[in-house]
A and B are shown apart, each in its own frame.
Chain A
Amino acid sequence: GNSVTQMEGPVTLSEEAFLTINCTYTATGYPSLFWYVQYPGEGLQLLLKATKADDKGSNKGFEATYRKETTSFHLEKGSVQVSDSAVYFCALKDAGGTSYGKLTFGQGTILTVHP
């Protein structure tokens, strides 16, 4: 079955530091890949996505590249802010089979950014 593995957290950084959150996946075929962010007490917000190999998703200074050869979708940001403190979830969705496939989530990574 499908699975997503994220780097262990929590991650604590100082403002303006470089961020990497690793994400690797196991899936058949060519799944779509997503990063979602969850702020305290809120639902999940789509941060970025990529639907095929070598696609780069980007939003709000965050980037992730769909690497099929390494089955990875690592999240990066060059300079984090205090407002980036949240929980980040990597997720995948089947490309084929049922057209409405469910999301498979990683375990989430808690990011805390200090001033």
Chain B
Amino acid sequence: DAMVIQNPRYQVTQFGKPVTLSCSQTLNHNVMYWYQQKSSQAPKLLFHYYDKDFNNEADTPDNFQSRRPNTSFCFLDIRSPGLGDAAMYLCATSSPPPTGGNEAFFGQGTRLTVV
């Protein structure tokens, strides 16, 4: 089935050690998003790509970077993780009308622990 796949499901990293989370999609959607979610709070958008156009939210820390080498893959890089960056990271895709229905499709998330 077409879907959004995140790897790994669980990631443990050391304080200050760079870490990369990955996301792939088989939906061929133009738009890919990265959200951060803490403790049953609402997901918070970090940034998104429309094709290769990168859009950063104003309050996303510089510690967070992203790469999208092609339509299918998108990466989240955390350059120097702090304890406050421990969270669930959600990747999502969407395809705007008329080709798509405008809803976002989410992966299963990566749970990041910082020790």
A99-114 CB contacts (< 8 Å) to partner B: 99-100, 102-103, 105-108, 110
Please name the residue on chain B nearest to A36 by beta carbon.
B106
Q: Is the CB of A43 within 8 A of B107?
A: yes
> Chain B residues near A110 (CB, 8 Å)?
40
A80-115 CB contacts (< 8 Å) to partner B: 87, 89, 93, 99-100, 102-103, 105-108, 110
> Chain A residues near B90 (CB, 8 Å)?
43-44
Smallest CB separation, A50 vs chain B (Å): 11
Kindly state whether residue A46 has any CB partner on chain B within 8 Å: yes
Smallest CB separation, B96 vs chain A (Å): 4
> Chain A residues near B6 (CB, 8 Å)?
43
Q: Is the CB of B102 within 8 A of A41?
A: no
Complexed CA–CA distance, A110 and B39 (Å): 12
| Number of B positions contacting A (CB below 8 A) | 27
> Chain A residues near B107 (CB, 8 Å)?
43
Please name the residue on chain B nearest to A95 by beta carbon.
B102
A51 with B102, Cβ < 8 A, contacts A44-B90, A100-B94, A102-B45 known: yes
Q: Which of A41, A44, A51, A106 contacts B106 (CB 8 A)?
A: A44
Q: Is the CB of B103 within 8 A of A102?
A: no
Smallest CB separation, A31 vs chain B (Å): 10
Smallest CB separation, A71 vs chain B (Å): 19
- B residues bordering A, Cβ < 8 Å? 4, 6, 30-31, 33, 40-43, 45, 48, 50, 90, 92, 94, 96-97, 101-109, 111
If A36-B106, A87-B40, A89-B43 are given as contacts, then 8 extra A-B residue pairs at C-beta distance below 8 Å, sorted by A number, are A32-B103, A41-B109, A41-B111, A43-B107, A44-B43, A45-B106, A99-B97, A110-B40
- A residues bordering B, Cβ < 8 Å? 32, 34, 36, 41-46, 49, 51, 87, 89, 93, 99-100, 102-103, 105-108, 110
